[in-house]
């Protein structure tokens, strides 16, 4: 079974074969140098001779290399290159086109001097002398789009069409395809045969096939399958026994290559591709620079973003550090204030205790003695309360004592507190109004701590209210107990309202107290996730409130 693949096929350079023909072998560079010498020698030898006239013929059906255009003019890439070479070689020339079969027959009969485009093969090199390659020709298999063949191996054993006497036919014969090969007179006809189902694929020059398909058929009629062959050189060919003409053409080829004419013609016919080829390096370089610039730009943006984020973070941490520092300084000031305050607070009752204890021993009068004794008891109690406040606060804040949680009736606790506090405050000008809305209010919580908060509120209200009343009440709302103590006392200015819950803070340093009562209340509320606050109008009175989160079973008073 003949195979379509031709592996390890060497790319042929006909210039080398030409020298083989002249009996000279060697590597390509040596051959080229030698050839140039020959061209030079020949130029000198022929200098001053008469102009030679040659007749050249090209394939009528080989667009875009040689063909008749719509106006009937002989045109094509090969035609233009041939003209340029003939002119550079200072030859008078005529160019004609004819059917390929006729062309080869007439050339063999020496009816003309040059073929303006022949694809190179070793076999042809034995018959014709080739000029340098003006183009490289690639071979494809063209098949109908509806056919299932995808790669050239799929075509093994299939019927292949080729153009008679074209290199593709020679090649198919060479690899033993004779049985399945169907010949067509020209490529246009070959495509029609393929469409009529006379063959499975057509082997031909890629560019020529593309030209016909684009011109004569719909876009998806055919599909190309690369033949996987190396490219063949396409060049002017002359008779083997006319080395003078060949050397003239070789010399002229170098001239049109050097002066840019060849490139111009190539641009004219295959412009876009060549433009890319010509500027390939430049385009790659521009691409590389653009990509580098884009990467640098993105990198720059990312860097700026990172710097902006880092700066923002630094600023934020700087701000929080300043805040912390201010807090530390403030608490340091408070601590100093507290120590001064404490020493005053502690010393006052202590001095009284020590002083009156000494006096009581020297006093004989019973009534005076009793007076002193009362003063000692009052001051001892005050001292005790200061010390127990400090201990209490530190215990709550350090979490040494956890809040107890037990079920109890808060309305009962409220009634008990009302009675106790009434005893405590005893100010006729300022009555204590207690509003207990429920018969029962069963909650789960820390009875002792809640009582402590309410007591603090009422004691303070009593301390700072000279006329009017004090009202204590509570209600159950939104998942907790809202408890408040309202007074008609001196009130608290706005700027002090938040601060009074801080440790050791007193609006007036000379009033009695440690400045710890509200801090203890806040610590208690914090511990049970509750809330605490004050609403106050300076000179009119204050309402201290707290919210103690809990479930409650309540019985409202009738």
- The alpha carbon of 375 is separated from its chain's Cα centroid by a whole number of angstroms, namely 81
- For the chain, the straight-line distance linking the first and the last C-alpha, in angstroms and rounded, comes to 114
Torsion sign across C-alpha atoms 448, 452, 454, 459: positive
CA dist 345 and 348 (Å) reads 6
- Residue 376's CB is within 10 A of a number of other CB atoms, namely 19
Token output for 40 = 């030079």
Residues 153 and 189 sit within 8 Å (Cβ to Cβ): no
> For ligand ADP, which residue has the nearest CB?
513
Nearer to ligand ADP, 168 or 542 (CB): 542
Minimum distance of ligand ADP from residue 348's CB (angstroms): 14
Torsion sign across C-alpha atoms 113, 115, 116, 120: negative
Torsion sign across C-alpha atoms 439, 444, 445, 446: positive
Nearer to ligand ADP, 183 or 385 (CB): 385
Minimum distance of ligand ADP from residue 395's CB (angstroms): 17
CA dist 486 and 172 (Å) reads 114
Residues 403 and 448 sit within 8 Å (Cβ to Cβ): no
Q: Which helix (H) or strand (E) holds 525?
A: helix 517-527
Nearer to ligand ADP, 141 or 505 (CB): 505
| Cβ-proximal residues to 156 (8 Å cutoff; 6+ apart), any chain | 1, 2, 3, 4
Nearer to ligand ADP, 91 or 518 (CB): 518
Minimum distance of ligand ADP from residue 326's CB (angstroms): 21
Nearer to ligand ADP, 252 or 532 (CB): 532
Nearer to ligand ADP, 153 or 508 (CB): 508
Half-sphere exposure of 406 (CA within 13 A, CB side): 6
Token output for 49 = 């001779």
Residues 440 and 409 sit within 8 Å (Cβ to Cβ): yes
Token output for 385 = 């309360």
Token output for 422 = 């009434």
Nearer to ligand ADP, 58 or 541 (CB): 541
Nearer to ligand ADP, 412 or 418 (CB): 418
Token output for 360 = 């009581």
Nearer to ligand ADP, 190 or 489 (CB): 489
The three-state secondary structure class of 97 is strand
Nearer to ligand ADP, 306 or 512 (CB): 512
Minimum distance of ligand ADP from residue 507's CB (angstroms): 3
* Interface contacts to ligand ADP, rule CB under 6 A: 456, 460-461, 464, 487, 489-490, 492, 500, 505-508, 511, 513-519, 542
Residues 131 and 235 sit within 8 Å (Cβ to Cβ): yes
């Amino acid at each position: 079974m003949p195979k379509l693949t031709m592996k390890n096929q060497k790319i042929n350079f006909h210039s080398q074969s030409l020298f083989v023909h002249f009996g000279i072998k060697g590597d390509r560079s040596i051959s080229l140098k030698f050839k140039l010498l020959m061209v030079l020698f020949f130029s000198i030898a022929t200098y001053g001779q008469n102009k030679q006239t040659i007749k050249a013929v090209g394939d009528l059906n080989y667009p875009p290399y040689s063909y008749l255009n719509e106006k009937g003019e002989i045109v094509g890439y090969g035609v233009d290159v041939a003209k340029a070479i003939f002119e550079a070689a200072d030859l008078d020339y005529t160019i004609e086109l004819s059917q390929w079969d006729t062309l080869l027959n007439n050339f063999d009969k020496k009816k003309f001097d040059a073929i303006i485009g022949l694809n190179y093969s070793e076999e042809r090199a034995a018959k014709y002398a080739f000029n340098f390659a003006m183009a490289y020709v690639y071979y494809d298999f063209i098949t109908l789009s509806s056919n299932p063949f995808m790669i050239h191996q799929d075509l093994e054993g299939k019927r292949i069409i080729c153009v008679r006497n074209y290199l593709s036919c020679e090649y198919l014969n060479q690899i033993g395809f004779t049985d399945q090969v169907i010949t067509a007179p020209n490529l246009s006809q070959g495509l029609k045969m393929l469409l009529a189902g006379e063959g499975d694929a057509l082997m031909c020059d890629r560019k020529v096939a593309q030209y016909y398909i684009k011109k004569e058929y719909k876009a998806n009629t055919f599909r190309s399958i690369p033949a996987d062959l190396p490219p063949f050189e396409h060049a002017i060919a002359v008779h083997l026994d006319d080395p003078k003409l060949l050397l003239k053409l070789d010399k002229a080829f170098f001239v049109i290559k050097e002066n840019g004419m060849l490139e111009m013609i190539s641009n004219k016919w295959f412009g876009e591709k060549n433009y890319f080829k010509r500027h390939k390096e430049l385009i790659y370089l521009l691409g590389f620079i653009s990509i580098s610039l884009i990467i640098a730009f993105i990198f720059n943006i990312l860097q700026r973003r990172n710097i902006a984020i880092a700066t923002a973070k630094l600023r934020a941490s700087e701000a929080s550090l300043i805040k912390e520092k201010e807090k530390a300084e403030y608490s340091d000031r408070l601590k100093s204030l507290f120590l001064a305050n404490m020493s005053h607070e502690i010393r006052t009752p202590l001095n009284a205790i020590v002083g009156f204890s000494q006096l009581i021993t020297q006093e004989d009068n019973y009534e005076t003695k009793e007076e002193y004794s009362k003063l000692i008891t009052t001051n001892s109690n005050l001292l005790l309360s200061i010390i127990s406040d400090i201990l209490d606060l530190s215990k709550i804040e350090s979490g040494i004592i956890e809040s107890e949680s037990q079920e109890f009736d808060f309305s009962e606790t409220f009634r008990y507190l009302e009675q106790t506090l009434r005893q405590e405050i005893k100010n006729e000008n300022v009555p204590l109004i207690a509003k207990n809305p429920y018969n029962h209010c069963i909650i789960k919580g820390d009875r002792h701590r809640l009582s402590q908060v309410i007591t603090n509120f009422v004691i303070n209200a009593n301390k700072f209210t000279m006329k009017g009343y004090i009202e204590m009440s509570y209600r159950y709302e939104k998942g907790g107990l809202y408890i408040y103590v309202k007074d008609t006392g001196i009130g608290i200015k706005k700027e002090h309202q938040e601060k009074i819950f801080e440790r050791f803070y007193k609006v007036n340093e000379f009033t009695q107290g440690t400045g710890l009562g509200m801090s203890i209340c806040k610590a208690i509320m914090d511990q049970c996730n509750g809330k605490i606050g004050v609403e106050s109008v300076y000179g009119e009175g204050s309402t201290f409130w707290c919210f103690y989160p809990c479930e409650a079973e309540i019985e409202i008073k009738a």
